[in-house]
A and B are shown apart, each in its own frame.
Chain A
Amino acid sequence: MRNQNTITKGIDWSVIWLYIALVIIGLMSIFANEYKEGESIIQPILSQSKDYGKQTLWVGICAALAVFILLTDSKFFTATANLLYGFGIMLCLIALVVGTEVKGSKSWLVIGGFRLQPSELSKVFTCLALAKYISRQETDFTKTHSHLIAAAISLLPAIITVAQNETGLALVYFSFFLVMYREGLPPFILIAGASMAVILILSLIFASETLLIGFAAVALVTIFLTRHHFKRSRFLLWAIIGLWAVASFISAVAIPYGINKVMKPYQRDRIYSLVGKPYIPQNPEERAELEKLKAKNRGKSQNQSEYNVIQSKIAIGSGGVLGKGYLKGTQTRYDFVPEQRTDFIFCTIGEGFGFVGSIIFIGLYAILLFRMIVIAERQRSVFSRVYSYGVASIFFFHITINICMTIGLAPVIGIPLPLISYGGSSLLTFTILLFIMLRLDADRQMVLR
């Protein structure tokens, strides 16, 4: 009875209900695209012969783990944050050296038939370590060098993950900049980063002439609108002109140079296919080489992102307003969308439940995210706040990129949809992330260091 009290006391039930709802939706989605009419439903769960069976087991494991985390003392997380971070980095390095290669990325550790992806788990550890660093008494997060250290903590696992050839996962670590922004990172870094990304995508999509004209137009309009301020500060004018020059330079010189001179043809092809543009090299030799490479890779997964997106859009688009109904989606049930239990799981929801269902579904996510912000802001201790923001950022990044790539708004980088996608490591990671947050939140009156 006393124990029960310690678990449930101060727990934010809304998050727990959302968590349960999402996990069930995830299980049902995996089931929907695996189950064929007339098959036994229970048997694959018991024999672990199908993905939804395995996922059910993982859900069980996660439930146990969630209870376990809720039983843990909050101080444990602050005390071991750095240790865990170091442990995580070490596991990543070990995976890099002795790991098993799965689909071209060397990020898996096999321990007794049990496959684990340390780079998934290190998200949790990094989040803890970042919270620990920022919440230190001696850290003054208005200083630049603190920013640099925080950035280093965030990006070190990212570098290892890139080395493991898991670019998608590595990008997730950039979401920590959102947390740092909340804690005092100058906004221009966020703006500059976002602008760079926008310029990069724009210069891939549009011809450089169009883009330069566009930039000039934007600059002129800005100058026109802010002309009254120039008397007070000359600097503003020069800043605008400088920004315009930088943007033009990047899009007209730096990016073409990077793409055409530094990258190899197949990389260029992939970059262009991410934005949905065919890449035809001017140089005949290069074209021949690329053709040969494409012929070799025909039907293989790396060369299929374009196909994936088309199929995914067909599946979601064909759902219409109300959807085809559960277990009625022809596209997702008959394997037209590749990777549909992992990265493209959203198609199942989009096709089966249509626009209304999709909106309700992303609404659940939105509620979860806004709830996390509420939780973060009500913490007394910085550690808890930073950690909660970290969880929110990671969730946000995953949700955004995953859903956007299924509806053709983002390049295809394989990252799972939190709590929905098939995969033990991913479900485990998000469960740990979420329940540590709930544990810390339960002790929100405490000041943790």
Chain B
Amino acid sequence: MPVFNQSRKRVIQLIFFIVFFVIAAQLFNLQVLSSKYEGLAFDNAVYKKIVYPSRGIIYDRKKKAILDNVAMFDLMVTPFQVKNVDTLALCSILKIDTAEFRKRLVTSIIKNGRYRPSVFEGLVTHQLQAQLDENMYKFPGFDLAERPVRLYPFNAAAHVLGYVAEVDTSIIRKSSYFYQMGDYVGRNGLEKTYEQVLMGQRGIKYLIKDNKNRIQGSYEKGLFDTAAMAGRNVYSSLDIELQVLAEKLFQNKIGGVVAINPKTGGILAMASGPSFNPNDLAGANFKKNYGKMSMDTARPLLNRAIKGQYPPGSTFKPLGGLVALDQGLITPDYGYPCAGAYFQCGRPVKCTHAGGGHAANLRAALANSCNSYFVHIFRMAVDNKKYANTTMGYLKWKEYMNAFGLGVRLGVDLPSEDYASIPDTSKYNRDFGGSRRWNSCNIVTLGIGQDRMTATPLQLANAMCLIANKGYYYTPHFVDSIQDETVEDTVFLSKYRRKHEATHIADTSYAIVQLGMQDVVTHGTARNAMIPGVDVCGKTGTAQNPHGKNHSLFVAFAPRINPKIAIAVVVENSGYGSTWASPIASLMMEKYLHDTISTKRQAEVERISKADLIPAAIKHWYYVKDSIRQAKLLKVPKEVNVDTIIEAPVVSRKITYDPEAEPNRRDTGDVLMPKDSLLLPDNKKNRKDSTRP
């Protein structure tokens, strides 16, 4: 053999060496230099399981739990384990057919994969759960997973409490991915505002999973796990009995009521009609009920107490009087010779009384609710010589209004409070074409709470607190204290513990206005608001509005000395303020002050709660909806033969208008809105612009 080939041994050794060197280099690169693989491996194999704590409870002012947590069960399915399932038995328990069964199975495979459990039937009822439990052995791959659900023992305060529901993508994004798909979160009301408190602290369990996402045990024997901390309880100022009464009185009515303790600003009751049972939005029927309610033209989901914008009408007059007194334009003895209307601005502004000295002084004018008197003093305020021109005068007046809490957000601890409207001069400049082209005469009805002025029931009730307290108020709020209050909680709640000295109007001014308001109840427009043994101060309002019948309003506080409750009631399209609003307010005040309603007035409670004041247009909408539902139910398959006359479906456009859609419209009020079934009342984008004149 040729010996010189011996040297090739070296070459082969070199080749081996180079290759091993390359491998070692790459290993060094992967294992020592690059750091990303560790993270990738962690993501691969470690599953962060979030342990949900139980949500905090909300208590009322007497420490009664307004809501509670109960355990409900989700029927979960792990598709790859589904073998030899007694499909028929399962279907008959769940009352679905096999096609639906298959569909749900396929859906869960698509959504979550074959190896991870997904919800087959969410929140099964207790009867179903018992039935399923018995038969579980027949259904391999199915199991019941516990899930806490809110329960509302009083069936009340739906708008205040809000509801808890699954997060959507926008919430996830806003929380910068703190929440994950499938988490439950407070979606409205106090549940939303105090989410951070009620939610508690989620615990994290690190679990090992395999390539098919099956859990294999705890990671590092639970070394990094953190325990879940239960949500903290929240103590509110709400009086649940008063709340229940308010909702009872507001049955079949549209409007809102807010009752506040003027000494603390704590809201005692807040109801909005139409309302709903909060239990409808907890548990299994959430989707069905939510869908139904969001499509309802009466908009039961809307909290009118903080979002309804109503012209305050005559309920504004005490404030008008205060402004005039404070600016020194009138004295309490100032009188106006009203002859049944205010004639100084062209078109007369009518007054319900004529002559007889019904506006001989401020107190009398308030008691008799003289339009002329307050229109007149409003003009005096706007045209005040102290200010350069009408615009300046008006802005000063607006400043007073904003200080009273009108036209601004008060900052109640509920989401999406409305600021309603104290119009800016720019609005009038646009309406009349320039700041010099309008004067106090053009906006004269602002003096009696009409024109472009609107307020929410909350703002009206807060204004009452201001008058009751003679010049200050606390920002209305629900939550008085939080269990184990932290620094952040204190910071958050501090704005509700701070006194707002609204203006520096003299106590004597308040005193005279209070006396005027007391007269309203004792011998004025709201004699039915009287409560024996209590000096009730109130003011009725009958607000003209573009949607039909006048709104019935009433604001009050009681007792006059050392006030304990301030209240504002609005009943939409129901007539005079004294007809519905004042008895409602009166009953609620009695309930709160006396802790019970005298037997004499029990009948009144029943009468009011039974009264149906829903506008005809909305009733018609319900009627149409019911008819369609009936028609669907009746549509049984008919045998079609030659003689059967197939009726062409009558296409009739039902035209109903939506009084809530545009509460501030100042046009004739006859604008009708063709309502397609697909048109959501909330959806502004869908609103047909063609209805604009």
Contacts and interface: CB of A to CB of B under 8 A. Distances in A.
Q: Do A and B come from one complex?
A: yes
A407 B13 contact: no
B41 A184 contact: no
Contact of B8 (A141, A181, A359, A369): A181
Given A183-B5, A331-B45, A359 B37 contact: no
B211 A336 contact: yes
Interface in B1-29: 1-2, 5-6, 8-9, 11-13, 15-16, 19-20, 22-24, 26-28
Interface in A280-330: 311, 313-321, 330
A396 B16 contact: yes
B31 interface: yes
Contact of A314 (B8, B22, B44, B216): B44
A317 B9 contact: no
Q: Chain B at the A interface: mostly helix, strand, loop or mixed?
A: helix
Interface in B254-299: none
Given A331-B45, A409-B26, A366 B37 contact: no
Contacts of A369: 16
A184 B37 contact: no
B23 A330 contact: no
A208 to B, nearest CB: 26
B238 to A, nearest CB: 51
A285 B86 CA distance: 46
B208 A358 contact: no
A434 interface: no
A350 interface: yes
B45 A336 contact: yes
A177 to B, nearest CB: 11
A409 B23 contact: yes
Interface in B168-217: 208-212, 216-217
A313 B31 CA distance: 9
Interface residues of A, number: 48
Contacts, number: 119
Contacts of B31: 316-317, 319-321, 350, 354-355, 358
Contacts of A403: 23
Contacts of A183: 1, 5
A333 to B, nearest CB: 8
A318 B30 CA distance: 8
Contacts of B8: 181-182
B211 A335 contact: yes
A370 B27 contact: no
A37 interface: yes
A410 to B, nearest CB: 10
B40 interface: yes
B34 interface: yes
Given A330-B45, A334-B208, A317 B23 contact: no
Given A183-B5, A407-B27, A334 B45 contact: yes
Q: B6, B37, B42: which has the most chain A beta carbons within 10 Å?
A: B37
Interface in A7-31: none
A352 to B, nearest CB: 12
B33 to A, nearest CB: 9
A178 interface: yes
Interface string A365-379: 110011001000100
A153 B45 CA distance: 48
A222 B2 CA distance: 32
A403 B23 CA distance: 8
A400 interface: yes
A187 B5 CA distance: 11
A262 interface: no
B23 A362 contact: yes
A171 B217 CA distance: 42
A382 interface: yes
B38 A366 contact: no
B569 interface: no
Contacts of B347: none
B30 A317 contact: yes
A318 B40 contact: yes
A335 B210 contact: yes
Contacts of B42: 318, 330
Contacts of B32: 320-321, 355
B430 interface: no
B34 A359 contact: no
Contacts of B37: 313-314, 316-318
A313 B30 contact: yes
A156 interface: no
16 contacts: A181-B12, A182-B8, A183-B1, A311-B44, A320-B31, A330-B44, A330-B45, A330-B46, A331-B41, A331-B45, A334-B209, A350-B27, A351-B41, A359-B27, A404-B26, A407-B23
Interface of A: 36-37, 141-142, 178, 181-184, 187, 311, 313-321, 330-331, 334-336, 350-351, 354-355, 358-359, 362, 365-366, 369-370, 373, 377, 382, 389, 392, 396, 400, 403-404, 407-409
Interface of B: 1-2, 5-6, 8-9, 11-13, 15-16, 19-20, 22-24, 26-28, 30-32, 34, 36-38, 40-42, 44-46, 208-212, 216-217, 219
In the complex, the 3 A-B pairs of residues with the closest C-beta atoms, listed nearest first: A317-B37, A318-B41, A330-B45
